Amino acid sequence: MATLSGETLSERAAVDGRVGASASLTVSRPLDPQRIREDFPILGRPQDGRRLVYLDSAASSQKPIQVLDAMDEYYRTTHANVHRGVYRIAEEATARYEAARARVGRFVHAPEPSREIVFTKNVTEALNLIAYSWGRANLGPGDAVLLTEIEHHANLVPWQILAAERGVELRFIPLGAEGELDLSDLERLVAGVKLVGVTMCSNVLGTLVPMEPIVAAAHAAGAVVVADAAQFAPHLPLDVSALGVDFLGFTGHKMLGPTGIGVLWGRAALLEAMPPFLGGGEMITDVCLDGFTPAELPWKFEAGTPPIAEAIGLAAAVDYLETFGLDAVRAHERALTAYALDRLREDHGSRLRIHGPSDPARRSGVLSMALEGVHPHDVSQVLDQHAVCIRAGHHCAKPLMRLLGVGATARASLYLYNDRDDVDALSAALGDAIRFFA
Ligand code: 7TS
């Protein structure tokens, strides 16, 4: 059987099918991270004479020249505000902004990109939009929302605010062994619930959440499903129709795009029935002193001047990712994650623990590490002296940190521009940290 970075196609189909990605069997060429790095100006910036080893893409990815150029070119040639001017460049700006929406919609296989893709500031705003608009229209005292114990604060705090305001009950799918979700009690937990909110991939544990049983149970209970794809969309093929969720959010800056733009995809019928989130210009068809008529989808949810250049940059990022294919990105990261897990275990043995699933097929390239006797912030500082960038902290998942019994972790995260040299540099720098603090 043909192999791709050491894994068989049937293995890939089985695993990717379980995590909700489209089980495309197209074989893309393996990635060449050294070549890819040439597209990222910042990765050519030395730090104290050392090559910069960027291992913090889960916090924010770096940007290729193709994205920087697209935004620069837009500002130099076309910029004007959108959806208002009738002069040439204003019409061009509007066309380019709407083309970016269509491009992003195709990226996630949205059935109706021009109506179902809402641009937001980030995924946090996308999730808040659902909580404020859908939540306040549909949830009241006695209703229940089911989340998981591994959520980022962005998919937890908006629901806590709503729960406190409306007397809504919050339930949680518990953390299981090895950082997986424990779905054994799912039937009971989901009974009577009106909304299920779940991250597709943990930003702390790397866990790829099995969406299929969760979506099936939620829909059987009559609940809508909100997927937080912030750590999934940049790394694996995503097909909202195949996934079967009702809302899905992701954020541009983690997927080679600029900051300041996020995406909410929602089923047109659901978005149609929802009240606006923010009020102001752009989101109305008419306003009188005593009221307003909201605009059509998706503009109803885009109050004020939108992130125009950022949408164009995000579309360029999507173009860039798709020149390789998300299946190839996933294959690369999965193989590199397997290498990293082996390498770090070989080099540091029991002094280093990596949270989350041990099987690379069930996890992303997010590696949260606990180094015996060394505080994660100290680890990060020593690594910085080696020009190795990782994140130390609670990763905006404090309830999960408590369950893991730690205040923080030292987290390295992999992307398409990383390779074995980066993992080797990480491991060597960790060795230094161990020697320094021993
Ligand atoms: N959801 C998940 C799963 C995330 O990992 C993050 C950001 C967010 C939501 C929020 O994204 P934003 O663009 O709206 O801020 N996670 C991280 C991280 O792990 N380190 O820095 C940001």
Confidence tier at 14 by pLDDT (50, 70, 90): very low
Predicted local confidence at residue 438, as pLDDT: 77
Say yes or no: domain 67-322 is CATH 3.40.1110.10.
no
Find the mean pLDDT for residues 137-165.
Answer: 98
Cβ of residue 368 lying under 6 Å from some atom of ligand 1: no
Predicted confidence (pLDDT) per residue in 38-94, tens digit: 999 999 999 999 999 999 999 999 999 999 999 999 999 999 999 998 999 999 999
Mean pLDDT calculated for residue range 356-377:
97
C-alpha of residue 76 to centroid of ligand 1, in Å: 31
Residue 56 CA: nearest ligand 1 atom is: 20
133 lines ligand 1 (CB under 6 A): no
363 has pLDDT over 50: yes
d(CA 357, CA 127): 26
Q: What is the pLDDT of residue 22?
A: 41
| Mean per-residue pLDDT over the chain, rounded | 94
Q: Which atom of ligand 1 is nearest to the CA of 126?
A: 14
Nearest to 413 by CA among 423, 421, 403: 423
Q: What is the DSSP letter of 400?
A: H
Q: What is the CATH code for 3-59+325-437?
A: 3.90.1150.10
Our answer on whether the CB atom of 61 is closer than 6 Å to any ligand 1 atom is no
d(CA 424, CA 347): 10
What residue ranges do the domains of the chain occupy? 3-59+325-437, 67-322
Q: Is the dihedral of CA 140, 186, 197, 239 positive or negative?
A: negative
Residue 2: pLDDT band (50, 70, 90) is very low
What is the gyration radius of the CA atoms in the chain, in angstroms?
22
Query: Looking at the predicted structure, is the pLDDT value of residue 25 above 60?
Result: no
Task: Taking residues 146-154, report their average pLDDT.
Answer: 98
Rounded-to-integer distance, Cα 101 and Cα 94, Å: 11
Look at residue 27 in the predicted model and tell me its pLDDT. Answer: 57
Tens-place pLDDT, residues 63-78 = 999 999 999 999 999 9
CA of 182 to the centre of ligand 1 (A): 23
- 268-322 residue pLDDT tens: 999 999 999 999 999 999 999 999 999 999 999 999 999 999 999 999 999 999 9
| Tokens, residue 126 | 């996308």
What are the structure tokens assigned to 135, written together? Answer: 């939540």
Cα 334 to Cα 340: distance, rounded to the nearest angstrom: 10
Q: Tell whether the model's pLDDT for residue 405 goes beyond 80.
A: yes
pLDDT confidence of residue 28? 75
